[in-house]
Amino acid sequence: MTAEKQYVVKGAAVLGGEPTDLLLRDGVIAEMGRGLSAVGAEVVDAAGLVALPGLVDLHTHLREPGREDAETVETGTLAAAMGGFTAVHAMANTDPVADTAGVVEQVWRLGREAGHCDVIPVGAVTVGLAGERLAELGAMADSAARVRVFSDDGKCVSDAVLMRRALEYVKAFDGVVAQHAQEPRLTEDAQMNEGELSGRLGLRGWPAVAEEAIIARDCLLAAHVGSRLHVCHVSTAGSVEIVRWAKAKGWDVTAEACPHHLLLTDELAATYDPIYKVNPPLRSAADVEALRAGLADGTIDVVATDHAPHPHEDKDCEWQTAAFGMIGLETALPIVQQTMVDTGLLDWAGVAQRMSAMPARIGRLTDHGRPLAAGEPAHVVLYDPAASYVVDPAETVSLSRNTPYAGRELPGRVVATFLRGRPTVLDGKPA
C-alpha cells in the first residue's frame, strides 16, 4: 500500500492571523507552528493567503438523479471544491425526489465516488414534495446517508398541520426542518420583488409578506413543539426582524442568507434578463443592507449558496417562462469578501463561523466545521484575498452557465482546497 501524501502549508494566515505552518498528514492537521518540515512532504507556499476551515454549504442543488443535463454530482461537487467547500447538503428536489432511503443513499454514494467533497443528502419533508403527507423521515435518518436536514425546498410546506408534524417527527433523531418560506397563494405567478418597479415592468410582484408570514408561523410552531427550524434563503428586512425576535425568545431557530441576496438588488430585473430571476427574488437595497447587518450580528447564522444550475434553454428565454435560480458555489466566498469583509462587517473568523462551523452544526456534521488546530480533520481552504478576477461563465466547472456575475469583477481567489488532507484544488485548479 502506498503511503498517503503529506503536505506542509507554509506561512498561511490562519483566520487572517499571524503566518503559521500546517502539516497535513493521515487526514488530520498533524502539527501547527513555524518552521515545520517533514520528510517527503510536498510544500505549499501560502504566504499572503488566508487559511480557513473547509466551507460547508447547507443549500446546494446537484440535480442528479433526473436532470443530469443541468448538473451531476461529479460536476457540482467539483464546482464546490473550486469554491472552497469540503461538504455540501444536496437538496431533495431531484427526479425522483429524495424522499426515500433508497434515493438519499444513491446521492450519498455518488458523492463518495466523485470524491471532490462530502455530499450530505437533504431529505424531502413530504412525499414527492407534494405537501400532502410526510415522507419516510425516519428511514432516511436511519439510512447510510444519516439524513438530519429535511426540506421541500423549491416548494413551501404550507400546510400548518403537516409542518407541525414534521417538526415533531424530526425531534426523535435531532433533525431539522429547513423551510422554503413562500406562501403559495400570495405568490401565484409572481415574478419579481413587489414594488414600484414590478408595476412599471409589468411583472407580477412577489410581496415580502409572502416570506415573512410563513417564517413567523413556523417560528411559533417550532417553539410550540420544541423543535429545530432552519429558514432557507432569507431575503427581506422583515424576515430578519422576525428571526431576531424568535432568537430573542430563546427558540431554536436558525437562518441562512445567499450571496446573491447580499449583493444584487431588484433593479437588475429592469434588464428583463432572466439570469437575475431567482426564488426568492432579488429585493431592494434596504433589504440587502438588513441582510448584511443580520449576518454580521448573528441573526442570520450562515451563508448558503442555493446553487441552482439550469441548462441554457431554461434561462435563455422570456423572463416569464424562464426557470428560477442561479449558480453560486464558485463565487460565494468572493462575494462574501466583497459584501462582508471588505466592508468591515465581518473578519475572517466571522466568515469561518458562518460558512463552516455553523452550517456544520445545523447539519449535525461532526467531521466538518472544526477549528484549524492540531489533531483536527484536515479540511482546509487557502484563499488569496488580494487577488481579483472577472467572472467568465465559460470558465466554470459547473455543467450550467447561469451565473448572474458574468463580466463582473470580484475580489479573491480560492488557491487550494484540502479534503481530509488530500487536495481537491491546487494552484486554483482541480487537483
* Residue 307, annotated as binding a ligand: no
* Residue 402, annotated as binding a ligand: no
**What is the rounded distance in angstroms from the CA atom of residue 339 to the CA atom of residue 61?**
24
* Residue 153, annotated as binding a ligand: yes
**Pick the catalytic residue: 99, 152, 301, 306?**
306
pLDDT the model gives residue 1: 46
* Residue 63, annotated as binding a ligand: yes
**What is the rounded distance in angstroms from the CA atom of residue 170 to the CA atom of residue 131?**
16
Does residue 263 contact residue 338 with C-beta atoms inside 8 Å?
Answer: yes
pLDDT the model gives residue 4: 78
* Residue 148, annotated as binding a ligand: no
Q: Is the peptide bond before 393 cis (omega within 30 degrees of 0)?
A: no
Mean pLDDT of successive 10-residue segments in the chain (431 residues)? 82 98 98 96 98 98 98 98 98 98 98 98 98 98 98 98 98 98 98 98 98 98 98 98 98 98 98 98 98 98 98 96 98 98 98 98 98 98 98 98 98 98 98 96
Q: How many helices (H) and strands (E) does the chain have?
A: 13, 19
Residue 306 annotated in active site: yes
Cell digits of residue 67: 436532470
Does residue 308 contact residue 315 with C-beta atoms inside 8 Å?
Answer: no
Nearest to 162 by CA among 147, 179, 149, 138: 179
- Number of neighbouring beta carbons within 10 Å of residue 406: 14
pLDDT the model gives residue 430: 97
Q: Which domains does the chain have, with CATH numbers?
A: 7-50+375-430 (2.30.40.10), 54-363 (3.20.20.140)
